[in-house]
């Protein structure tokens, strides 16, 4: 029996920049997916998802996306993608358990994908870089889950470093790690709501960004500066302009944030997180009332240096940068305020910046 663990991730800054060949800062969180597995001789994949108490079984030679047991798609998709790349995979039995809340935008799916790729690697050894493992996870998501995601989630899960933020250049695929000061901590506040069919909204946002790049005559929005975008504004329909403004602004914020982090200027870093959320509200329109409430409440607290939605949006969670010594009262008051407004508590999770999957 082998065991594999992969964390989830939180996006610190750089929202919807990854598929625009842009820049992101992220971290791996203290919640993740564990897979325990054994090889079998039957050429079968037998899966059990402990949290859902669901089973899935099928022949390895007959893999296809599942309409019912959709959780299995992330595993089957990875196996299919590994085989496409020439990896020899035999039958295996696996039990999956996860501490990542589903639908929170904390990459439970990428965590499951990378945990699967590493499980297969331990059972049936093959050579592959961590970046290519991330690409396998992304391809699984495209083909088996129908989400045209970038590589932020899978790279964060596969390549993060403890006590560091991960900086990802999604064009050169250069990845580096920046130390985080010990006096700050991250708090995730999960609203518990999901307002949109995420795949549809997500893919639609991606199309708008690609349309903007086409109309501006560049390969990707990575190639556009804020002043360049203003100068060419007339070329873009209003909505497409706003989508592009978000991505261009996020890339510039990540660049500034990277320098601030290197100089431990966390208050200024946090201010960029608040700016990012504002841009999500007004430009990318991927926030929602509950997330805006959580960020608005966080902003009132001197303990909180910055807050924003994290991940795709349309619900899910916010990430808060908080002074460590004040984190507990901050969590309590954020939770109480949300309960007073919506009649239910949000899920509040404190997290460290964690190591990559192993
Ligand atoms: C989701 C996707 C990522 C990224 C974020 C938004 O998490 O899976 O690839 O695009 O949304 O930054």
Q: How far is CA 22 from the centre of its chain?
A: 15
Per-residue confidence (pLDDT) for residue 197, from 0 to 100: 63
* Ligand 1 proximity of 11 Cβ (cutoff 6 Å): yes
Closest-CA residue, ligand 1 atom 10, reads 16
Last residue of a domain, one of 159, 176, 193: 176
Same domain, 222 and 121: no
Q: What burial class does residue 172 get, using C-beta atoms within 10 Å of its C-beta: 0-12 exposed, 13-18 middle, 19+ buried?
A: exposed
- Give the domain CATH number at 311: 3.30.70.890
Query: Which of 150, 157, 277, 315 has most ligand 1 atoms within 8 Å of CB, for mutation?
Result: 150
Where helices occur in the chain by DSSP H, the ranges are 73-84, 108-123, 130-140, 152-159, 198-216, 226-231, 238-262, 266-279, 289-300, 327-342
Q: Provide the 3-class DSSP secondary structure of residue 163.
A: coil
Locate the ligand 1 atom nearest the alpha carbon of residue 107 and give its number. Answer: 7
Asked if the model's pLDDT at residue 198 lies above 80, the reply is no
Q: How far is the CA of 149 from the centre of ligand 1 (A)?
A: 6
Same domain, 252 and 111: no
- The whole domain housing 26 covers 2-176
Q: How many domains does the chain have?
A: 2
| Crossing angle between the packed helical segments 289-300 and 266-279, to the nearest 10 degrees | 150
Same domain, 48 and 153: yes
Same domain, 195 and 150: no
DSSP state of 67: S
* Ligand 1 proximity of 312 Cβ (cutoff 6 Å): yes
- pLDDT digit string (tens) for 267-276? 999 999 999 9
3-state class percentages of the chain: helix first, strand second, coil last, to nearest 5: 45, 25, 30
Query: Which of 16, 314, 318 has most ligand 1 atoms within 8 Å of CB, for mutation?
Result: 16
The phi, psi pair for 42, rounded to 5°, reads -95, 0
Same domain, 170 and 199: no
Whether residue 128 lies inside any domain: the answer is yes
| Mean pLDDT calculated for residue range 108-127 | 98
* Ligand 1 proximity of 77 Cβ (cutoff 6 Å): no
Last residue of a domain, one of 127, 154, 176: 176
> Residues of 300-310 as b/e, b for ≥16 C-beta within 10 angstroms?
ebebbbbbbbb
* Ligand 1 proximity of 311 Cβ (cutoff 6 Å): yes
Per-residue confidence (pLDDT) for residue 103, from 0 to 100: 87
Provide the percentage of residues in the chain whose pLDDT is more than 70.
99
Whether residue 250 lies inside any domain: the answer is yes
- Give the domain CATH number at 67: 3.30.230.10
Per-residue confidence (pLDDT) for residue 67, from 0 to 100: 94
Query: Which of 152, 209, 317 has most ligand 1 atoms within 8 Å of CB, for mutation?
Result: 152
Task: Show the CA angle centred on residue 321, arms to residues 176 and 18, nearest 5°.
Answer: 40
| Mean pLDDT calculated for residue range 285-302 | 98
Whether residue 357 lies inside any domain: the answer is no
Does residue 153 have an active-site annotation?
A: yes
Closest-CA residue, ligand 1 atom 8, reads 149
Asked if the model's pLDDT at residue 167 lies above 90, the reply is yes
Give the separation between CA 76 and CA 332, rounded to whole angstroms.
Answer: 40
| Mean pLDDT calculated for residue range 63-87 | 97
Asked if the model's pLDDT at residue 25 lies above 80, the reply is yes
Q: Which residues pair with 315 in a beta bridge?
A: 194
Closest-CA residue, ligand 1 atom 1, reads 312
Same domain, 129 and 256: no
Structure tokens at 294: 């959580």
| Mean pLDDT calculated for residue range 77-95 | 98
Last residue of a domain, one of 116, 150, 176: 176
Strands 54-59 and 2-13, how do they pair? unpaired
Q: How far is the CA of 18 from the centre of ligand 1 (A)?
A: 7
Count of CB atoms situated within 10 Å of the CB of 237: 12
| Mean pLDDT calculated for residue range 254-274 | 97
Q: How far is the CA of 86 from the centre of ligand 1 (A)?
A: 28
pTM equals 0.97
Same domain, 151 and 89: yes
Same domain, 328 and 222: yes
- pLDDT digit string (tens) for 127-156? 999 999 999 999 999 999 999 999 999 999
Same domain, 193 and 317: yes
Same domain, 185 and 78: no
Whether residue 358 lies inside any domain: the answer is no
Residue showing tokens 């899910």:
316
Q: How far is the CA of 181 from the centre of ligand 1 (A)?
A: 26
Locate the ligand 1 atom nearest the alpha carbon of residue 11 and give its number. Answer: 12
Short-list 276, 274, 263, 270, CA closest to 181:
263
């Amino acid at each position: 029996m082998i065991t594999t663990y992969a964390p989830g991730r939180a996006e610190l800054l750089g929202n919807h920049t990854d598929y625009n060949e842009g820049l992101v800062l992220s971290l791996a969180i203290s919640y993740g997916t564990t897979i325990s597995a054994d090889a079998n001789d039957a050429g079968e994949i037998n899966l059990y998802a402990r949290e859902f108490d669901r089973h899935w079984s099928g022949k390895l030679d007959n893999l296809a996306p599942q309409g019912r047991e959709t959780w299995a798609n992330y595993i089957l998709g990875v196996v299919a993608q590994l085989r496409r790349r020439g990896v020899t995979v035999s039958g295996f039995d696996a039990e999956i358990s996860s501490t990542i809340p589903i639908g929170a935008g904390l990459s439970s799916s990428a965590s499951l994908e990378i945990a699967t790729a590493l499980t297969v690697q331990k059972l049936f050894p093959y050579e592959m870089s961590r970046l290519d493992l991330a690409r396998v996870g992304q391809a699984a998501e495209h083909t088996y889950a129908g989400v045209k995601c970038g590589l932020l989630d899978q790279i964060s899960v596969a390549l993060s470093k403890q006590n560091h933020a991960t900086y990802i250049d999604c064009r050169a695929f250069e990845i580096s790690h920046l130390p985080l000061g010990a006096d700050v901590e991250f708090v995730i506040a999960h609203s518990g709501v999901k307002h949109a069919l995420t795949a549809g909204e997500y893919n639609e946002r991606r199309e708008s960004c690609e349309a903007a790049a086409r109309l501006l005559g560049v390969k990707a929005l990575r190639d556009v500066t804020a002043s360049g975008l203003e100068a060419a504004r007339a070329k873009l329909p209003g909505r497409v302009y706003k989508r592009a403004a978000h991505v261009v602004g996020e890339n510039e914020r990540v660049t500034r944030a990277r320098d601030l982090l290197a100089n431990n200027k966390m208050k200024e870093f946090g201010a960029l997180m608040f700016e990012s959320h504002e841009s999500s509200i007004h430009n990318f329109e991927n926030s929602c009332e509950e997330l805006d409430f959580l960020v608005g409440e966080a902003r009132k607290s001197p303990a909180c240096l910055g807050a924003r939605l994290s991940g795709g949006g349309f619900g899910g969670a916010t990430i808060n940068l908080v002074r460590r010594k004040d984190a507990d009262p901050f969590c309590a008051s954020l939770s109480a305020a949300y309960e007073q407004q919506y009649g239910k508590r949000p899920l509040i999770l404190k997290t460290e910046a964690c190591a990559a999957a192993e």
